[in-house]
Each structure stands twice: as C-alpha cells, then as structure tokens.
Chain A
Amino acid sequence: MTKPSVPVGIVCSQSGPYQAMGREILKSAIMAVEEINGQAEFDFSIAPHIRDPRGIVSEYHTVCDDLIRNVGVEHIIGCYTSASRKQVLPIVERTDRLLWYPARYEGFECSDNVIYVGASPNHNVLPLVRYVLDNLSREFFCVGSNYVWTWETNRVTRELVSAANGHILAERLLELGESAVGHIVDEIVRRKPPIVFNTLVGSSSYDFIRAFNAGTKAAGLEIPMLSCSLCEPELAIVGPASAGCITSSAYFESIRLPENRAFVTRWRARYGEDSSPSVDGQSAYVAVYLLARALQRAGTSDIAEVRRAAAGYRYNSPQGPVWIDGGNNHCVLTPRLAVSNPQGQFDIFWEAEAPVKPDPYLTQLDVAVSPSKETSAGGALPNAPHLRVVK
C-alpha cells in the first residue's frame, strides 16, 4: 500500500554569493528525505518541492508564496541568510505555516512560525570570544560582511571584550560578494593585531582567507583567525590557506559519535569519498528529521499539532542530542570549538559538557561574568557551558 505523501518545500539558493552553502543544505535535506521515505517507522512519505531563489532576497518571498498557494505546503525547510528569512517571515506568519530554518544566526527573533534549528549566538559567538579572551588576546581586529549577522556578532563581541578591559582594534566591513580584500590584509600586516575575527560569508571570506594567509606568511606573522561560520566544504574551496582557523560550531565532521560516523559514512557513499558534510547542511538534515518525527507523533501536518509534538522531543542527531525548546522554538545544541587542519578537517579541542539551552535574546548573558559563573534569577544556570577538553 502506498504511504500518504506530505508536501514539504525546500528553499535554498543554488547560485549567487553563498551558493556553496545553499547546495550543502539541499544535499543534506534531500538525503534526509530519501532516508525517511525508505524507513518503515514513518507511515507517510515526504514529497520535496525544491525552489532556488538564486541568492536574490526578494525571490525568497516569491518562491514561498508559490509553495504555499500553489503546492499547498505547510512546512518549508530552508533560507540561509537572515535577510532571506525576514522575507519569508511575513508570509509564513500570515498563512500560519512553519519554516524550519537550518542556519546559525544572530538571534533577537522568535516567531511561532519558525523552528530555529541552527545555533543561537550563545551557542557559537559566546564560547569563541570567551575562549579567546581567557586564552589568547583581549584585542580583536574584526573583518566581516556588511549585514546584520556581522553587525550583531561584532556588537556582542565588543560588549564581551570591553567588559574584559580589552578593545576592538578595528572593524572592517565588505559588501556581500566583495572580493577586493587586499587593503584589509595590508592593514593587518601593518598593524599586526593579535587576533583577526572573520565574519565574512561566502566568496568574500574565501578570498580574504587566501589573501590573509599569503600576506601574513610573507611578512613572517602568525596571527590566529577566528570564525563562527567556516565549515568543511569551505575549507576545501579555500584550500591549504584555510588551516589554523579557530572555529566555533555545533557540528564538525570530526565529532566522534556513532550517529555522526554513520551519517558521514552515508554522506560519503552518496556524495563521494572526497566530500564533507557541513554544519548548515547537517542542520538541514536534522531539521528534516525533527519535522518527520514530529509529523509522525502528531499524526497530522497541521502546524500547531506538529509544533506541539516537536517541542522537547530528543533526537540523537549526528551532532549529538538535539531538541526544540518549546519556549522559544530554538534548538538546544552542544557548542564546540575546533581548529582547522591542512587536511581540510577540524580538530575539536573543546565542547560544552552538556547541551546548552538556546538564548536568542541573550537574556542570560552577563558580559562581565565568566560562563561557568553565570546565574539566572533562579540561581545557577544549569546549561551554562563548562570547559571540557576533548581528546
């Protein structure tokens, strides 16, 4: 007997400045859909309806409108940048649909019509900046793309650095897709900052990392670079110049969990031995599974029922246990820090000892207090990240 089919929209850009990440999201989402459709435990199948907004912000609204009106989807997986999510928000709220958003983002949003599967700022920016303040430097040179993620990431960084009596030496911003990075590298070589924090995205970041590596090497400098977004497929795009970047993320291919080993094996069998999953791609994979399990539990695709069924349900994903905090629709994730190596992988050197509650509005943040001492009104914060060295 044929299983009933649930239409699900998948919206990710296959061209434009962040096409590489859009393709990773699509590959992972499709892999999850096909796995789910082949599993007997699900009494339905997912019918994916793929749309490519080509990196054009207004196209996101157009394709979602089409998916909702003409295809009748109730659930959409996708969007990468915050600008694209903000385009889709009004339409999913007005029509009461659910967007499953896989990317990490800058926070300060909480819609009942969005499930935020990627990292909140307390999952990636906070652990990274605090690690650097405690271990490397109190002076930061910031380079980023001129859009909301960089603005907010730099604001949080500035607050933490200022509270530690450090300072931001410079904040240099480039337009999305901009490739003229030479003047920034020249300035870095001239000023020799102890740390460079890179929040550039897509092609700008790849160009910058290559130029930074060449420029600092020629000048005999060793300046650590920080990132909250760099992932394995991007390391492959950049090449050997990408080695040595200290990166904060909830997912790395090198996570030593059985679920991840199995995931990577399936990924390589499907996409080739030389390919690697990425944090945002893996997050899209997690989103499809969270949706499918919620659909199964709810017994309907009605979004209120699915949202209720999804909240608090623990899924042992490739990145470890993940569940949705029903209070804010963001995911509970495990923050990790790693350094990129010449083989195009990340060596994890720290992870939180337990999954950390999402704090999209940074309500629990005390800038002057170290994370292990942070408290909430009710006393000790149970999910504050504690240091645990990963061997």
Chain B
Amino acid sequence: MSRRSSFSLRGRKALVAIKDERDATIVRRQFERLGLEGVAWTPAEPVDFAPDLVLIDDEFLPLLQPAQRAFLTRSPVIALLGTETPSRLKLVFELDPASFLIKPLRSAGIYAALVMAFERNERTSELKQQIFKLEQRLRSRRVVLAAVLQVMHSHALTEPASFALIRRTAMEQRKTIEELSAEITARGMLPRATG
C-alpha cells in the first residue's frame, strides 16, 4: 500500500491542547481551511480515539503522568513554543516533537508544521522498521552460522558453497535464509542438494 501523502491533510483528526484562546481560534480556523478536524483537549483528560496528530502547548509541560507521555508517543507531536530558553526546550524534548510552532500563532506556518510533522513521523517509522529488521537479522546470524556449519559437515562443502546452497534452497522454498536456517538447526533437516 502506498503511504498517504503528507501534503494532503483532509480527513485527519488532531488533538489540540492550547491554553490561549486567540491561538486556539487561529488553529481552529486554519484546520477548517485544511480539512482537518481538531479536538480540544487538556492533557489530564482521557482520549477515546487514536488521533493522527497532537498539538500541545508548552504551557502544559511538564507532563507529570507517565501515561500521558506514553500516549503522546503514538502519534506525531507538534510543540507550541512560548519561549526558547534551554530549560523550556529540555521539557519539550521529552515529547519528542516532530515539528514546532512559535507563539503567538499566525495562520502562516501551521500548514508547514503539520506537513513536516506527518512527513517526519512517516520517515521515523520507516527507520524504526528498518532498524527492527536489521536487529532481527543480527540476532539470527548465530542460527544462520550454525546451519552453515551443519551443511558444511553433512555435505562436505566449503563455507561459501554451503551458504550458497542454503540461499538457493531458501529461494526455491520461498523462505528467508533465517527461516530455513532455523529449520535446519531445529529439526536437523538438511536441504536436499540439487547440484
């Protein structure tokens, strides 16, 4: 499935935690123009849906409950900054924001911050998935090595030839090398030599 364009925001639903009414009005108006639904929220309140985005005022920081922080890690966060002091920024980092806006808000900048947040979140998710896959492969290296040694002994092959045989068999059986290696080591079943 192709991923959703970060430029198109229509139909997305955002949680909006803003203290100042003027800023909140500007966000509401800009969201209407962009086709987003904004749901007013204060971080103490429960949330009964999975938002696509969270806009949170730095005046709500620090978030004292771990549950609140855990909730915010599930969707991209845009931090609204009132001051740029390092102490305040340190609190903002705890949200791991995907983008930010400076208060007082203007309509200009909100679209860019939203697009940036969605795009940053997508890219981060892709990176996390990639890291997860690499970690899995790293963990399975021991299994692959054990399978290679087993095939080397049973078929009297060199290490490269043994690995090539496992790889070819995995391809024939439409399995990953790691899956086939796990089968070889767990069941003692050797791939049948094909040539």
Contacts and interface: CB of A to CB of B under 8 A. Distances in A.
A93 interface: yes
Nearest to A330: B33
Given A363-B10, A377-B10, A110 B33 contact: yes
A85 to B, nearest CB: 12
A109 B108 contact: yes
Contact of A108 (B8, B32, B106, B111): B111
Contacts of B108: 89, 109, 111
A15 interface: no
Interface in B136-173: none
A327 interface: yes
A112 B107 contact: yes
Contacts of A112: 107
Nearest to B29: A327
A360 B33 contact: yes
Q: Is the interface of A mostly helix, strand, loop or mixed?
A: loop
Interface string A321-353: 000000110000000000000000000000000
Interface in B106-143: 106-108, 111
A362 B8 CA distance: 8
A112 B107 CA distance: 8
A122 B37 CA distance: 22
B103 to A, nearest CB: 15
A112 B34 CA distance: 15
Interface in B1-45: 8-11, 29-30, 32-35
B107 A327 contact: no
B83 to A, nearest CB: 20
A93 B29 CA distance: 16
A263 interface: no
Given A361-B33, A363-B10, A111 B111 contact: no
Given A108-B111, A111-B107, A328 B33 contact: yes
B107 A110 contact: yes
Nearest to B32: A327
A112 B29 CA distance: 10
Contacts of A110: 30, 33, 107
Nearest to A93: B106
A370 interface: no
A93 B33 CA distance: 19
Interface of A: 89, 93, 108-112, 327-328, 360-365, 376-377
Interface of B: 8-11, 29-30, 32-35, 106-108, 111
Given A363-B35, A365-B8, 13 more contacts: A109-B108, A110-B33, A110-B107, A111-B106, A112-B107, A361-B9, A361-B34, A361-B35, A361-B111, A363-B9, A363-B34, A377-B10, A377-B35
Q: Which 7 interchain pairs have the tightest Cβ spacing?
A: A363-B35, A363-B10, A328-B33, A110-B107, A361-B34, A110-B33, A363-B34
